[in-house]
Chain A
Amino acid sequence: MKLPIRVEVNGDWRELEVDTRTILAEMLREQLRLTGVHIGCATGNCGTCTVFLDGKTVKSCCILAADVDGQSVTTVESLADSPDNLHPIQQAFVDHQGLQCGFCTPGMIMSTMALLRSNEDPTDEEIRQAIAGNLCRCTGYEMIVESIRAAAQASSSSVGDA
């Protein structure tokens, strides 16, 4: 069964036809080629598929594409227009080695953005709570927390846009 949907993705309204079996993460990756949205566990645990849906972070593996008709989706691709001009959160992850294999990174970045929107100066405990829904299989959490701490210091003025 195919359904037409209208969805705003990274600021542009798109008219799409989606198979009802398609999960949001697949739609973003395969129909729109937004491959920054990773699919890890597909069971809502790892969080690497985290995107914003109407302004709140969700795990896009656990939402049917047909269910986001009329809504707004923001992916990690919206943060920077080129590798030379990274978002302060992305730059902080680069500068502080907040990634090893990089597979969890898009989700970590989106959860960081959600955190810094509501809390410009989070404690380490608040940072850890904010990424509780994002797993790093490399277990590089210390550097991720350090990166988020640095991002908070660097970017309090510029994280509200995406």
Chain B
Amino acid sequence: MISWELEFHAPTDLAEALDLLAERGEDVTVLSGGMSLMPMMNLGLVKPEIVLSLNRLRDLAHVTDDGDVIRVGATVRHGDLGADPTVQDAYPTLSSAASQLGDLQVRNRGTVGGSVAHAIPGADYPVILMAAGGEVRLDRKGSSRTVPADNFFLGLMWTAREPTELVTEIRVPRRQPGWVTAYRRFTRTEGGIPLVNAAAHFAPAGVGGVVAVGGVVPRPFLLDVPAFDPDDPDEVLDELEAMASVATREQVPSVDEDADYRVAMGGLFARRVLAACIQQLAGGEHTGEPA
């Protein structure tokens, strides 16, 4: 199925992986769970000469509780992320999204870092990380940097990662009393990549919040929710829906036959995820359930 010669590396420690990237990063394709890369290779859509598998790395499978921040290693698989009690407690929206994306086999194999680095529009983590004010850690030989999620996702399968760097970790803030978060996604088929998704984050309650929208646009975008009265939310819902529609329109080419549909869905899901938060604010209850 894969017809071209493939040089394969599967180091057991991170330093070895970073060495390879430092020397030959331009020619290396990083393989993690492979849930996106392997289909692309099987179809011949990408033809990497050198594959660097992270599946034997021991260093990046951690979930670490640093108090105000939770760090999740890049090779943590979706199912393990969803089942992790630390993440369930710290950022329930992330946890429940991980438990419901794809299908069981995909959750058993696909990884957090792979999904984040692949950056396909509609992937679940980018909008959640952007709304949460999360970060992505990148390591290269001898140094590392941490990039806010909003600056990491740059477009269709395009991120701030340099060829010599590896996505090693995501970081999400631990929820504080009064935080409200929500996530909504829409797929045409069970297990598919969302056509549109949106995440909202209010912290602390009453001080306004942000909504991130993805899927309908190459680059997920973040909107500040205007100040509003929780007892009379219709106005802000209309306003946010209009803002999200405009922001979607900016990125959707007018020649796209789905342009109007994308614009409508971008607006609608911004509205829905905000409505979910407002409902929680009114009820004073925190739930992380996606629709």
Q: Which residues of A contact B (CB under 8 A)?
A: 1, 3, 20-23, 26, 42-44, 47, 50, 53, 56-59, 61-64, 66-67, 69, 111, 114, 129-130, 132-133
Contact = CB atoms under 8 A, between A and B. Distances in A.
Interface stretch (B16-24, B37-45, B227-235): B37-45
Contact of B39 (A44, A56, A58, A114): A44
Contact of A69 (B3, B4, B10, B35): B10
B39 A42 contact: yes
27 contacts: A20-B5, A20-B7, A21-B1, A22-B2, A23-B1, A42-B1, A43-B43, A53-B108, A56-B79, A56-B108, A56-B109, A57-B104, A59-B105, A59-B106, A62-B109, A64-B31, A64-B34, A64-B53, A66-B10, A67-B53, A69-B10, A69-B56, A129-B104, A130-B104, A132-B104, A133-B102, A133-B191
Interface residues of B, number: 30
A62 B39 contact: yes
A6 to B, nearest CB: 13
Nearest to B43: A43
Most buried by A among B56, B103, B106, B191: B103
Contacts of B106: 44, 59, 133
Contacts of B10: 66-67, 69
B190 interface: yes
Given A62-B39, A69-B10, A21 B108 contact: no
Interface of B: 1-8, 10, 31, 34-35, 38-39, 42-43, 51, 53, 55-56, 79, 102-106, 108-109, 190-191
Contact of B105 (A21, A23, A47, A64): A47
A47 B43 CA distance: 16
